[in-house]
Amino acid sequence: MIKFLNKTLVVCILTTILTSCAIVRQDEVGVRRRMGKLIPRVLSAGMYVVNPFTATILKIPTRTLNMQVALDALPSKEGLTIGAELSILYHIRGDQAVQILKDVGKIRFGEQIIMSVLRSATADVTAKFYAKDMHTIQRETIETEIAQKMTTILGNRGFVIENVLLKSIKLPNGLSEAIESKLRAEQDAQRMEFVLNKEKQEAERKRIEAEGIRDAQKIIAEGLTPILIQYKSLEVMQKLSLSPNTKIIITDGKTPYLINQGEK
């Protein structure tokens, strides 16, 4: 009987010790709650001893959280209704953990508030853009504006919106095909414009080249005076006379004409 009581006592002591210890990990912070009241002190990573009968430690993650959201009734600038799937990357500021627990509680770490703000912010932003903009480079602008609007509303509550990502866009029936056709037409027009510009540049190059040849010939023609031609002829005759080869030259004294040439 005594041994049984001793074993029971040991088990009770071990159970009490184990339930009195709480561990806060590196990617979270802790807040002590005693007798239903929050103690205004944030606990960093480590092990803490609490009275399991009167107190507990609430843990809040400070790592980046990813919340997936599907929205089906977003307005566009032209009055269309668009569906979208979004990812919200956010984290909770550890130094405001006590205030977050007071304001929104621990359930899903404020996802309900984030969801409400996201619906409102997304609708406000998409209403300023055309539906086709969500498939172009404007998509990044839309994501940035949504994140900024959410930060304005949630920043003082301890939530940090890191990024908002538009994963997929669902346009009304027929609009996707119309947008794709228009984009193909724009690409064809840009391609044709490139070809035309290239041909114009080539034509301009040939024109400039022809003008250069014409100007060069004009300069040469203007410089060929009778005296210069006679002088050049005499130079040629002088060089021919110094050549060791046998040749026959017919000349009127101005322009030589070589009609035969042989080896010495």
Alpha carbon 185 to its chain centroid, in Å, reads: 25
Q: Which domain holds residue 139?
A: 65-172
Based on the fold, state whether residues 128 and 204 are members of the same structural domain.
no
pLDDT at 166 over 50: yes
pLDDT tens profile 98-123: 888 888 776 566 778 888 899 999 99
Highest mean pLDDT out of 6-20, 55-69, 95-109, 243-257? 55-69
Where does a domain end: 30, 45, 61? 61
- pLDDT value at position 27? 87
Based on the fold, state whether residues 56 and 84 are members of the same structural domain.
no
Based on the fold, state whether residues 96 and 34 are members of the same structural domain.
no
Alpha carbon 173 to its chain centroid, in Å, reads: 29
Based on the fold, state whether residues 156 and 109 are members of the same structural domain.
yes
Q: What is d(CA 159, CA 73) in angstroms, rounded to the nearest whole number?
A: 25
Based on the fold, state whether residues 80 and 167 are members of the same structural domain.
yes
Based on the fold, state whether residues 96 and 149 are members of the same structural domain.
yes
Where does a domain end: 40, 61, 82? 61
Q: Which residue has the tokens 């009167």?
A: 54
Average pLDDT, the chain: 78
Q: What is d(CA 124, CA 173) in angstroms, rounded to the nearest whole number?
A: 23
Token pair of 157 as six digits: 């509550």
Based on the fold, state whether residues 19 and 98 are members of the same structural domain.
no
Based on the fold, state whether residues 53 and 92 are members of the same structural domain.
no
Q: Which residue has the tokens 């004294």?
A: 253
pLDDT tens profile 179-203: 667 767 878 888 888 888 888 888 8
Based on the fold, state whether residues 96 and 139 are members of the same structural domain.
yes
Highest mean pLDDT out of 39-53, 147-161, 248-262? 147-161
Based on the fold, state whether residues 34 and 116 are members of the same structural domain.
no
What's the pTM? 0.58
Based on the fold, state whether residues 122 and 50 are members of the same structural domain.
no
Contact 160, 92 (CB under 8 A): yes
- Inter-residue long-range contacts of 110-118, CB under 8 Å, 24+ positions, other chains counted: 110/157, 110/159, 111/67, 113/154, 113/157, 113/159, 114/67, 114/88, 114/90, 114/150, 114/154, 114/159, 115/67, 115/69, 117/150, 117/153, 117/154, 118/69, 118/71, 118/86, 118/88, 118/146, 118/150, 118/164
Q: What is d(CA 54, CA 149) in angstroms, rounded to the nearest whole number?
A: 42
What is the CATH classification number for the domain harbouring 157?
Answer: 3.30.479.30
Question: Confidence band (pLDDT; 50, 70, 90) for 145?
Answer: very high
Segment 4-19 mean pLDDT: 53
- State the total domains in the chain: 4
Based on the fold, state whether residues 216 and 236 are members of the same structural domain.
no
